[in-house]
Structure 1
Amino acid sequence: MRTMQQWFDEYGQSHQNHTNKLIHWICVPLIFFSIVGLLASIPSGALKEPFPPQLQPYAHFGTVVVLLGLLFYLRLSFLMFLGMAVVCTLVLLGVRAVDATAEAPLWLICLVIFVLAWIGQFYGHKVEGKKPSFFKDLQFLLIGPAWLLGFIYRKLGIPY
């Protein structure tokens, strides 16, 4: 099993160009948000029923996928798991806020964000001259957000 640093090192091989890195700082969080939002848009009445009314807006397939992703991070690094748990909580709160306040349906907003952010990602990789890492291993889709958090951790001197 690879360590968090080994994942980051391999992911970083196709993320050396400054423009590509900058695009990733914008597009990776947007893609993460949009995927959770798209999954939250799937009708999930049966998931909501066991929860009290104040938690029901968070009982959806987006939350299920977030929890599974958090298990992936926990396997690699407890401190990265904690940071990603904060990030995931913010994403879930953001999805709920957009769903509660936007005039357009959540799925439509997230679909537009998803498409535009992926266009940005592929442009960044065109500039980089290397294929996105997830073409090699789908697990890199989970590494992208953690890779960004890893930069913040290093700036703050937090080990992972």
Structure 2
Amino acid sequence: MKSLEEWFEEYGESHQNPINQKIHKVAVPGIFFSVAGLLWEIPSSHFSDIAIAPYFIVLAMVLVFYLVLSFKAFVVMAAFSAFCTMVLVELQSANIDILVLSIAMFVVLWILQFVGHHIEGKKPSFFKDVQFLLIGPAWVFHFFFPLTPHDNA
């Protein structure tokens, strides 16, 4: 399995352009949030009077992925995930249509991502390996909270 540093190095190869990097710093966390919002809207299943929310099952699997890569990445992504969860709770309390908001954010932010990659002149990394969809958020946060021993995000 690749180390987080190796993932970042490979991801960074197609994210050298400063404009593409700026787009990613906004769009990637926004896409993460929008996917969380989409998952949030999937109804819970009930087994023997126990409610199981797909949102939390997927979130647990994603956080295990980060934990296997790096404890620091796990902590940062767990904190961001907790923030996303709190925002979703507040949006739900305010009767805001999370599904519509999430779909709109997802579409607009992915369009921005593809604009960034057009400017970069390179295809998005996830075309090579779908795991890059989870590496992207950690890579963005690495700019603000170094997650590897070498600060070469």
> Is the pair's TM-score, using the shorter chain for normalization, greater than 0.5?
yes
Q: C-alpha deviations, 1:125-146, integer Å up to 9, x for none? A: 0000000000000000000110
2:88 to 74, 89, 95: 95
Which structure shows the higher helix fraction?
1
The answer to whether the aligner puts 1:145 opposite 2:146 as a matched pair is no
The answer to whether the aligner puts 1:84 opposite 2:80 as a matched pair is no
Question: 1:56 aligns to what?
Answer: none
How far has the Cα of 1:147 moved from its partner? 0.4
Distance across 2 between alignment mates of 1:60 and 1:130: 37
More displaced 10-residue stretch of structure 1: 133-142 or 86-95: 86-95
* TM-score, normalising length: structure 2: 0.90
How far has the Cα of 1:62 moved from its partner? 2.1
Identity of aligned residues (%): 44
How far has the Cα of 1:74 moved from its partner? 0.7
How far has the Cα of 1:159 moved from its partner? 4.2
8 Å CA contact 1:36, 1:63 repeated in 2: no
Structure 1, unpaired ranges of 5+:
52-58
The aligned length equals 149
Question: 1:69 aligns to what?
Answer: 62
The answer to whether the aligner puts 1:8 opposite 2:21 as a matched pair is no
Deviating beyond 6 angstroms after TM superposition, the runs of 4 or more aligned structure 1 residues are none
Distance across 1 between alignment mates of 2:95 and 2:25: 24
* TM-score, normalising length: structure 1: 0.86
Structure 2, unpaired ranges of 5+:
none
Distance across 1 between alignment mates of 2:133 and 2:116: 16
Q: C-alpha deviations, 1:98-157, integer Å up to 9, x for none? A: 122144x21111000100000000000000000000000000000011001111123xx9
